[in-house]
């Protein structure tokens, strides 16, 4: 086995460690509310001891709105009848809890999986994210966004100024993701020489003040610059 170069990135370098996880018994309506409020596109389903059971994506929930597509589905069922597959599809369309709608056959990686391998998996399987497991326990998630971020901002060396800026950016971004008022999809953060700069769209002055408060509470921040644009009155971000 060849020794990885310094440029080699692994799942442990890329993954988001704060992963939204829900129990298998969580109601569908509650899952939809969680995705909407937190600006998430998917949540993992885990057991009480942290074992991955499945994943529920926004697409899984949206499919329920479209019903069964009666004509085409029935015609296909006559050609490709499978009692188990039909029962599984019915549960996904009509089930009431996470266990019913989740994808059970989840593609996963380990912390030592390289970025190149993750990219190939996503392309081959047509997926947007992969859970990261350690001895069967969920420890993180790598999404396409994480891969793009690594392309834009390669992991810096430990004690450099760039490392300090990246630590600040991660701390600010983590808090933004946890605040439903912060419009995470429309807020972008850059940090240079300890100065946090916000880009994107702001709904109100209250949101601007809230974002500034998030930045100021992070150790090492030397200043905050607001470069966000106002949302046009009467307009909508969604």
List pLDDT tens digits, range 111-122: 999 999 999 999
The CA distance from 22 to 35, in Å, is 11
Domains of the chain by range and CATH? 11-150 (3.10.580.10), 156-230 (3.30.1340.30)
The answer to whether the CB of 190 falls within 8 A of the CB of 227 is no
The answer to whether the CB of 122 falls within 8 A of the CB of 18 is no
DSSP state of 37: H
The CA distance from 199 to 225, in Å, is 9
Give the pLDDT of the chain (238 residues) as one tens digit per residue. Answer: 344 444 688 999 888 887 888 999 998 888 888 888 777 888 999 988 889 999 998 888 887 766 544 444 444 445 455 566 555 555 555 567 888 888 888 999 999 999 999 999 999 999 999 999 999 889 999 998 888 877 766 555 555 788 888 889 989 988 998 888 888 878 889 999 999 999 988 889 999 999 999 999 999 999 999 999 887 555 444 4
CA dihedral 75, 59, 119, 132 (to 10 degrees): -120
pLDDT digits over 59-95, tens only?
888 877 665 444 444 444 454 555 665 555 555 555 6
183: tokens are 């419009």
Beta strand residue intervals within 58-128, DSSP E: 109-110
237: tokens are 């971000």
- Give burial (CB, 10 Å; 0-12/13-18/19+) of 129: buried
Beta strand residue intervals within 88-237, DSSP E: 109-110, 129-134, 137-143, 187-192, 195-202, 223-226, 229-230
């Amino acid at each position: 086995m060849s020794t990885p170069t310094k440029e080699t990135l692994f799942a442990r370098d890329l993954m988001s460690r704060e992963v939204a996880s829900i129990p298998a018994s969580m109601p569908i309506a509650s899952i939809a509310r969680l995705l909407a409020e937190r600006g998430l596109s998917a949540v993992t389903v885990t057991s009480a001891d942290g074992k991955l059971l499945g994943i529920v994506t926004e697409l899984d929930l949206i499919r329920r709105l479209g019903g069964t597509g009666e004509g085409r589905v029935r015609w296909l069922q006559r050609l490709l009848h499978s009692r188990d597959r039909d029962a599984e599809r019915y549960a996904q369309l009509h089930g009431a809890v996470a266990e019913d709608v989740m994808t059970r056959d989840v593609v996963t990686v380990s912390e030592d999986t390289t970025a190149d391998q993750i990219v190939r998996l996503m392309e081959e399987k047509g997926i947007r994210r992969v859970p990261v497991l350690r001895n069967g326990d969920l420890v993180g998630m790598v999404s396409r966004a994480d891969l793009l971020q690594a392309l834009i901002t390669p992991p810096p060396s430990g004690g450099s100024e760039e490392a300090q800026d990246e630590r600040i950016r991660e701390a600010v971004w983590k808090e933004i993701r946890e605040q439903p008022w912060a419009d995470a999809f429309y807020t972008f953060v850059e940090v240079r020489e300890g100065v946090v700069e916000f880009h994107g769209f702001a709904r109100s002055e209250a949101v601007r003040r809230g974002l500034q408060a998030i930045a100021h509470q992070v150790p090492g921040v030397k200043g905050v610059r607001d470069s966000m644009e106002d949302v046009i009155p009467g307009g909508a971000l969604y």
